[in-house]
Amino acid sequence: MREIIFDTETTGLDPHTGDRMVEIGCVEMIGRVPTGKTFHAYFNPERDMPAGAEAVHGLSAIFLSDKPCFRDSFQELLDFLEDSPLVAHNAGFDFGFLNNELTLCGSPIISLERMIDTVAIARRKHPGAKLSLDALCTRYGIDRSHRVKHGALLDAELLAQVYIELTGGRQIGLELAAETAGDSLGDRSFTGLSRQSDRPRRAPRPHSATAEELAAHASFLETITEPLWNRR
């Protein structure tokens, strides 16, 4: 099954008060294995960038000033998303901004039926635990040392690894995933692994004691005084 893991960066927390989406990053997965296909874009929000938001993702109004507006480039994004389920961390937030941008363009919004929220999955699996992306990366041993600031594509790539762990771990469907994703995976996901049928088979080891072993055992038993098996 094809799924898209995505993340957004914005000018603030609420699209209904004028905040806009400024970056989106998407990672394609097939059979819960990243295929290597991604989509990434910056957007000119046509407004200022609050200092608090810039401190989170590092995207300034000057940097974004020469980027395309969402309305001028959103069709490429929709072509990448197709009709696949969309996975995000605290997905209501990302869906809210994405659908707000589509509404401003006069485009149909994306159905919430396609939404998969990894926060909700993590809350069911780890009740009472910290559920931030950083906390889940730590829990599952996912390297995030290169994550200095938030970035939509980087966060989507980290979330893809977290999503795999939340839904069964790296051991799920290795052979099925290889067949589903095809040659595009190369050796990236299965380095060092081989199919069971490729492993060398050892001859069966003898499981009966030899005469010498039986004699040694009998001699040992004679050294035991008042053995438990003789008590009544």
Annotated binding site for substrate: 7, 9, 57, 155
Which two structure tokens, joined as six digits, stand for 227?
């053995």
Which tokens belong to 83? 């009709």
CB 155 within 8 Å of CB 58: no
Binding residues, as ranges, are 7, 9, 57, 155
Q: Which residues are catalytic?
A: 150
Determine contact, residues 44/65, Cβ cutoff 8 Å.
Answer: yes
Q: How many CB atoms lie within 10 A of CB 117?
A: 18
Binding residues for a divalent metal cation: 7, 9, 155
